[in-house]
Structure 1
Amino acid sequence: MPKLYDYRLFISHAWKYGANYDRLINLLDNASYFSYFNYSAPSEKPLFPPGTPKTNSQIRELISAKIRPSQITIVISGMYVAYSDWMQYELDESVRMNKPILGIYPWGQERAPYAVTSVANEMVRWNTSSIISAIRRLA
């Protein structure tokens, strides 16, 4: 069997709500005939070691460096997005870099923050088939 294409994903998320990120990673890892490289910064692999002081400018540069090689930005769009300056920066930077944005509605909810729906190329529910199909269409 030929090697699967590796989609290059940047997953915007809030560490404080890591269960949703873990749920998405589990979904992607277990999807049939799907391979990807994750450019996001999960809590166990932060952009910089804990306790290392960074300026906002340096943090922005590190985030941009993660988004740049990705093909698509995926946003786990819980209501916390509306209150996260860094997630807003990730959305703005993805738009600036012309990266397609895939928004995922919060688990079991009908609504998502305007900050996501206003820039998302597509919004999907927590469903493996919907998420994988959207990644393939947009990336």
Structure 2
Amino acid sequence: MQWSSLHPIATARYLGLGLFAAGFLMMNWSEASLGKQFSIQVTVQENHQLVTDGPYRFLRHPRHLGIIMFNLGIALVYRSWMAMILVAALTLVLLWRIHDEESLMHQEFGADWDAYARKSWHLIPFVY
């Protein structure tokens, strides 16, 4: 099979599978890096430490990127426009959450957070 002979639908599905798998791995790596500090709520845990290793070395919100990739992958695999619209809506919700999380982290960690924020990306390396 030659790459040039792949049908666009098959290409979208393969891309979707790759995004699905990469998103799943990114979510799990991010959660593992946070350890006991992981929470689905925007909150600071007792004895909370600023995590700047693992995927957090480069991105401040790698789990959110993983969630977007995972869901975008599903939308591409099933070629669903409705799912693509839902992924866009989910992305907007996560961007709002990022704003809340960053405000909380700035309040909690102050200058340490500011220094970390200057040398890391929000969500997408070299873009945002």
Using structure 1 for the length normalisation, give the TM-score: 0.27
Larger radius of gyration: 2
Between Structure 1 and Structure 2, which shows a larger proportion of strand residues?
Answer: 1
Using structure 2 for the length normalisation, give the TM-score: 0.29
